[in-house]
Homo-oligomer: A and B are copies of this chain.
Amino acid sequence: MPRQMTIGTLSRETDTKVETIRFYEKSGLLPAPDRTEGNYRTYEPSHLRRLSFIRRARGLGFPLEAIRTLLNLSDDRSRSCEAVDRIAKDHLVQVEQKLADLNALRAELDRMISLCSCGTVADCRIIDTLLPGPAGSPSRATENPR
């Protein structure tokens, strides 16, 4: 069991692109590892753990900024985990908001598509839905492109 590994190995172990690992290092999420004579990065198990943490959090959709905070918090094991809880709950709220938006979206897309009989564009219900109705209802969409 090798205690040290190259970036390629770490990449495979964590299913993370090499460039992404370097990006995390530049962003200060991963500490810069030692280098070999040939200037190659050599990672230790601690890096592997930290990177796994980051990837898992990213998989759950936490933004890097939040992950940075989580990592700092988790480094001080004696501290209360209130802040951790708050970050997670905040994120949950965001996810739930996005879910609601997407559900509305799907409903509208469903409706749009079900109406399309695939004739000519001139009477395509999809295009119609998108066009501003001159006399019809405004028919607002999700109305939150940002």
Contact present for A78 and B142 (CB under 8 Å): no
What is the bound-complex CA distance between A36 and B8, given in angstroms? 59
**What is the oligomeric copy number?**
2
A35 at the interface (CB under 8 A from B): no
- Asked if A85 meets B132 with Cβ closer than 8 Å, knowing A80-B118, A95-B102, A102-B98, the reply is no
- Besides A60-B108, A61-B105, A78-B121, 19 new A-B residue pairs in contact (Cβ under 8 A), listed by A number: A52-B132, A53-B131, A53-B132, A56-B129, A56-B140, A57-B130, A57-B141, A60-B109, A77-B122, A80-B118, A81-B121, A81-B127, A84-B124, A92-B106, A92-B110, A95-B105, A95-B109, A98-B102, A99-B106
